[in-house]
Structure 1
């Protein structure tokens, strides 16, 4: 049986990584979502410091943990499936399938174990290219050992094997195979050959960082009302079409 952890709740996972992206330290980001230091370390060990895709862009398509909690309560009250579906705004087949696939046993449904099962099923990654192509994996490993960067390796492979796309790989795939446990393919220790020497991807933004910010910016919604009538030059755009002599 898949053990439940709030690391499996996609909303919580994405909230944690959003705090990290905003410049918070890993420990502080974990505290903001109610994670212990051990849970944060387990998340970083599993992801290699790379924000997972789980839970991104899936809102509305998959049942949330809150919806599963509602189903568990209503199931215990003996509510019919169609009534549950109506309350959730879901199709009856969605609720029926959820009870059939993720219940511990007939008529016994728990939100925690059901959510863990659903997340484990949804997070099955496809086989990584560096996992399935032994020749490509050896080429990449040899070049990493010579301290070539993933960007250099990706570029050189296209030049060295111009007619063999099976020997092409993006630099991001190389990084993910080094850092992300579930992607695998490359030896984790090869990450030490990167120029940074890091075995964990680090976030780029810091809380006090000014990069990418516009000083004294004024939102378009706050512009003066007189701009709308375009009575003053500069409040409107024009185009000049010139015909060559």
Structure 2
């Protein structure tokens, strides 16, 4: 006599995020009847991946057979909380991660550097999500720094990126657009091509200039204690860029901000051509935009940026240039610049 197909299974009690023992019995019975994972999932009101994961995790490790009561025991044994996390259980790993956090490295930078520095010690390897969990979950005690101080953004919640403020170009001399920039600058093949911008302080009354070398991501910070008028920006850029060796002064790419009103005078003084981005196209200075985001950890918005000394700006630049960067194969900008200078000499 043919047995009609099973279309559903009773769900005693309240729904649970975990599979119950009677559901595991149903999975075992239907598996023996050669039912598909999707059929079993539909009958239990579960997602197919839940059934697939259950069979993968709780089948007998030797034979591969799925035994529901043994599977229930295995699942129950794994469930007790709290469990000691990998960071809390390994003091050396915890110290290494905390050191990276203290140096304002991102979790991804920390884990990549750990894998590079300890290639043969798996106990020192951890996923960057584990570090985020140690920061996000309160009361774990795995990392001592407060969440809002440890995160690079200084925020506990992520915010969508906003469109850059619109600016009206007001230049004293014609602009040379980025489309005319040499190919060697666009492909980052040769060092000496820079991207620049300002980060703005409280009430738009103070600013710091930021310069990023495209090939190495090396950062220079421009001190503007008296404001960001075009003449002061011109003089500060001249002072900063003329300290560089000639082969590291090939070009500067900027947006169309009015602070570059006297760009032609800067070019005459330094022999550095200035190329301007298209309106509302911050991605054309991507390295600089990324660096400005990193700098907000040191120079929060709505603060007086004129209060910072030249010495402090230099210290921040040294710290940024000492961070391993994913785009550099986890070299630091300082290491990459040193390699290029050594090859050139």
TM-score, normalising length from structure 2?
0.24
Please identify which structure carries the higher strand content.
2
Higher Cα radius of gyration = 2
TM-score, normalising length from structure 1?
0.33
Higher RCO (C-alpha 8 Å, min separation 6): 1
Please identify which structure carries the higher helix content.
1
